[in-house]
Structure 1
Amino acid sequence: MANIPEKILISSSEGARRIPVIGLGTATLIEGNDDEVKLAVVEAIRVGYRHFDTAALYQTEKPLGEAITEALRLGFIKSRDELFITTKLWCNSADRHLVLPAMKESLR
């Protein structure tokens, strides 16, 4: 398993946690091929990645979630709490009435 450096992340709800400073970005993964994205993320989790970057625009949130489910099933991680997932609210969802629905969709 890879030895990825970490930094302390201060969170008011959980106290201090350690976050990996290196993560796998999914923007450049194969667009439109959810199976390839899922395989890449499962392999990344297997070798030690614990931080993943995505966005609704990348269309990789769903296969990333499926990969996490698969990694749990395979025993590569014990809990979703071992991972950090960064996603972004895109410009077309930044109007006040669109923010909450866009965030809920990303979380789904």
Structure 2
Amino acid sequence: MKKLDQRRMEAILFLFCFLAFFGVLGHFMGVQNMISTMMKTAYTLLIDTVLYIMAVSVLAGALGRLLIEFGVVRLLEGVLAPFMKPIFNLPGVASLGG
């Protein structure tokens, strides 16, 4: 029961701090300006960062799958095996993360 009371107090304290922070910020900036700034920042972050990273990840995954499908990874394994085995005692494909 004591642990439950502690969690409730943590939740109440967090909620108080959260509302106080945004209340003070909204008081000085104005609520409309604060929400507008937050939305513009979220939009810019989403469009300029997250979607760009997602596009790069999709293209890298597609390229990696093509390289595996057409045997380029096996070719690189054969080329890198002589270097990887004596240095790290690993097969050649380990240098590619596969």
TM > 0.5 between the two?
Answer: no
Q: TM-score, structure 1 length as denominator?
A: 0.20
If asked which structure has higher relative contact order (CA below 8 Å, sep 6+), I would say 1
Structure 2-normalised TM-score? 0.22
Decide which structure has the larger Cα Rg and report it.
2
Specify which structure has the higher proportion of strand.
Answer: 1
